[in-house]
Structure 1
Amino acid sequence: MPQIHMESPYFSKLQAGAQGNLIRDFDPEEYTMLIERYGDLINRWSAAPELEGAEAFADMCRKHNVKLSIGHSDAEYDRVLEAYDMGFECVTHLYSCTSTVHRKDAFRYAGIVEAAYMIDGMDVELIADGKHLPASLLQFAVKHKGDDRIALVTDATRFGGMEDGAEKQLGISNVIIEDGVAKLPDRSAFAGSICTSNRLVRNMIQLAGVSLLDAVKMITVNPARMAGLQPVDKPIVRLADQEKGRDILSK
């Protein structure tokens, strides 16, 4: 694993998911120490751009070539546009702990989900485990973001691949494995998935109706481009076709 994705702790308490009490506002002393000491190991850092101090955090990340992603955020549409200009060019697991259209008094406001579709250059992650998102939302994302801007992610913890019935400790939280997904004990939220990458490809083919080539692209070429790990100009992906083996030149 060449580098890591920091998902925590500068998140919105309104979009905590299973993050619990560990989330907090931006701490300049803390993130400066982490970036200066370990910046060469950090590829991307997810944070909530509506929190006070987001601009300074983004500046520090950009200075050290750490990519930025919107995650566990309750930001409204206009703030997402500002965040994109600040360098937040990806949405961490779209739909999961991300704001969407909501109402304040009589007025409706768009959120991260809507902004992600409106910003052509915004990449999005999808947890395609078949649990976090129904087939309809996977299909919607493919239709409106296309195969170039979607990265498939498992969002799996160390419990990936485990069977139903297990009860485990995840950080400071207990989790249960039930219905093919990790949950908080009160079942109020998922606590990551237990999915493996091969299942993401299968689910996108079966649930979202994408081709094998596009599903493989979403889990290989696109994440590599987003991470800046390798050139991906017209990569050749060898696919094992059940009927006949062939080399396919990606679009």
Structure 2
Amino acid sequence: MIALTGATLVVDDALVDDHALVIRDGRIDAIVAANDVPVAAEVHDLTGSTIVPGLIDVHVHGGGGHSFDDPDPAAHQQVLDFHARHGVTTLQASLVSAHPADLDRQLDALALSVSANPGLYGVHLEGPYLAVSQCGAHDPAALRPPTADDADRLVARGGLITMVTVAPELPGVPAFTRRLTEAGVVVAAGHSEARAPELSAAVDNGLTHLTHLWSCQSSLVREGPWRVPGLIEESLASTYLIGEIIADGHHLPPTLIEIARRCLGDRLIAVSDATAGAGMPEGFRYRLGIIDCEVASGVGMVVGANAFGGSTTPLDGMLAHLHHDLGWPLPEAVAATSTRPARVLNLAHRKGRLTAGHDADLAVLTSALTVQATMRAGHWIHRAAAH
């Protein structure tokens, strides 16, 4: 039994002081008054710190110089270790678009990593079922519409694939979406020129998610005198879709983040979209698939193009940006980086909150919201200093 004392606890919408978090057998046993800590507990004094539920990143390509598209489980472990140092206890590995043979090799390797690492939840395919005109940092030569055979092959991987991003306007998307969602896969709209009819058809077949709002999404156009909303406007006006923002201080200005916050409310989550460039110095070169990118001015840029190449900021940096720079209450910023992402991955029954019965996944933060320590299932997986 472990008792974490002295810290401020972020418990749902409240900041709780003068209480201890009691952990037993990998789960949160109770939150008790500071003077009611069980005498048998091993006490860890965290005075001056803040404890939040472990961060959950549903869109991350890499970090610390390594990438999930490297078909080497050792590289995957390096990515996991990097994000653990930034408070992430659960993440979903994202892959950029690739040709079928390359994608199969990547998925074979990730199957080994998912089975060996409890913090690696599954795989998000950000493509190849995307619009060429909205490809961003994806290889346009690898993009194609989905087929029924594609859906069967992905489902046959037995739960490895947990999310797929599609452009709803591509032929075959409604049936593809239905097949995946019936198998428990989250289907997201992104990298798309879709308008309302195409989005509605995908939603009717189970699409529930939106990949990085404003990044590679169609927007308002005029057709004669008529204003025709794009994917971004349809997304913000929806009453059911869950949307991602890359809150790194580069991808989106504060105004757009505030619009998303007001429109989506508790259906808004933050994702890192972190790449191998996360945590690396200026000028570091990395690849997204076959696309060359570089760390420049604190963000990833496609080499030779005026386009972002993913993010170089891990999720704790997003949490700090939302709270310190944009003024979000800390519990709301935590909800966007932990509680709500747990719902996206259907893990809300055991992750994303500091409450009795949930997994003892948590991050210990300084006042600047930098990570001092990270715990998963009651075991420290990162400690910057002895506690």
- Tell me what 2:12 maps to: none
Partner residue of 1:212 out of 315, 330, 352: 330
Residue 161 of structure 1 aligns to a residue in which SS? coil
Where does residue 144 of structure 2 map in the other structure?
A: 24
Shift of 1:105: 4.1
Closer/same/farther in 2, CA of residues 182 and 235 from structure 1, 3 Å limit: closer
Aligned to 1:190: 308
Give the CA RMSD over aligned residues. 2.2
Distance 2:169 2:331 in 1: 37
In the other structure, the counterpart of 1:249 is: none
Q: In 2, are the aligned partners of 1:117 and 1:145 still within 8 Å (CA)?
A: yes
Between 167-176 and 131-140, report the one with greater CA deviation.
Answer: 167-176
Give a deviation string over 1:28-87, Cα, whole Å, max 9, x none.
Answer: 323321221x14111111111111001120121023111111111110123223322221
1:2-39 deviation per Cα after TM superposition (whole angstroms, max 9, x unaligned): 21211110001111101122221113323321221x14
- Equivalents in 1 of 2:293, 2:213: separation in Å? 22
Cα deviation for residue 232 of structure 1 reads: 6.8
Question: RCO higher in 1 or 2 (8 Å CA, sep ≥ 6)?
Answer: 2
Kept in 1, the 8 Å contact 2:138–2:288? The answer is no
Query: 1:58-73 maps to which residues of 2 (within 5 A)?
Result: 58-73=177-192
In structure 2, the CA distance between the partners of 1:39 and 1:51, relative to structure 1 (3 Å rule), is farther
CA contact (8 A) 1:136 1:208 kept: no
Structure 1 residues 80 and 208, CA gap change in structure 2 (3 angstroms): farther
Tell me, yes or no, if structure 1 residue 89 matches structure 2 residue 208.
yes
- From 245, 264, 270, the counterpart of 1:145: 264
User: Distance between the aligned counterparts of 2:366 and 2:307, measured in 1?
Assistant: 38
In structure 2, runs of 5+ residues without a counterpart are 1-119, 356-361, 368-387
SS of 2:341 mapped into structure 1: helix
Measured after TM superposition, the shift of residue 110 of structure 1 is: 0.2
Equivalent AA in structure 2 for residue 95 of structure 1: W
- Deviating more after overlay: 99-108 vs 154-163: 99-108
2:320 aligns with 202
**Structure 1: where are the runs of 5+ without partners?**
243-251
Distance in 1 (alpha carbons) for counterparts of 2:330 and 2:348: 22
Inter-partner Cα distance in structure 1 for 2:277 and 2:129: 24
Aligned-partner Cα distance in 1 for 2:289–2:248: 22
Question: Distance in 1 between the 2:342 and 2:348 partners?
Answer: 6
Q: Is the 8 A contact 2:177 2:205 kept in 1?
A: yes
Distance 1:8 1:199 in 2: 26
Give the distance between the partners of 2:294 and 2:176, measured in 1 at CA.
35
1:165 alignment partner in structure 2? 283
The answer as to whether partners of 1:95 and 1:113 remain within 8 angstroms in 2 is yes
How many angstroms apart in 2 are the aligned matches of 1:60 and 1:234? 28
- Structure with the larger strand share: 2
- The structure with the largest alpha-carbon Rg is 2
Report deviation, 1:164. 1.3
Partner residue of 1:131 out of 250, 259, 263: 250
User: Which one has a larger percent helix, Structure 1 or Structure 2?
Assistant: 1
Deviates more, 1:122-131 or 1:198-207: 198-207
Amino acid at match of 1:98: Q
Q: Is the 8 A contact 1:205 1:215 kept in 2?
A: yes
Rounded to whole Å, the distance in 2 between the matches of 1:188 and 1:200 is 23
Cα deviation, residue 136, structure 1: 0.9
Give percent identity, aligned residues only: 31
Alignment counterpart, residue 51 of structure 1, candidates 162, 170, 175: 170
1:30–1:83 Cα change, 3 Å: closer
1:143 aligned counterpart, secondary structure? helix
SS of the aligned residue for 1:40 comes to coil
CA contact (8 A) 1:93 1:124 kept: yes
Over 3 Å counting, the alpha-carbon distance change for 1:233 and 1:197 in structure 2 is closer
TM-score of the superposition, structure 2-length normalised? 0.58
- Is 1:112 equivalent to 2:231 in the alignment? yes
Does the 8 Å CA contact 1:164/1:178 hold for their aligned counterparts? yes
Query: Are the equivalent residues in 1 in contact too, given 2:219–2:230 (CA < 8 A)?
Result: yes
How many residue pairs end up in the alignment? 241
Query: What secondary structure sits across from 1:125 in the alignment?
Result: strand
| Closer/same/farther in 2, CA of residues 141 and 56 from structure 1, 3 Å limit | same
What is the alpha-carbon distance in structure 2 between the residues aligned to residue 102 and residue 69 of structure 1? 23
Q: Is the 8 A contact 1:39 1:64 kept in 2?
A: no
Native 8 Å contact 1:81 1:115 kept in 2: no
C-alpha deviation, 1:233, in angstroms: 10
Q: Could you tell me the TM-score, scaled by structure 1's length?
A: 0.88
Query: How big is each residue's C-alpha offset from its partner over 1:72-104, in whole Å with a ceiling of 9 and x where there is no partner?
Result: 111012322332222111101011111111123
**AA paired with 2:223?**
K
Cα distance in 1 for partners of 2:237, 2:350 equals 25
**2:206 counterpart letter in structure 1:** G
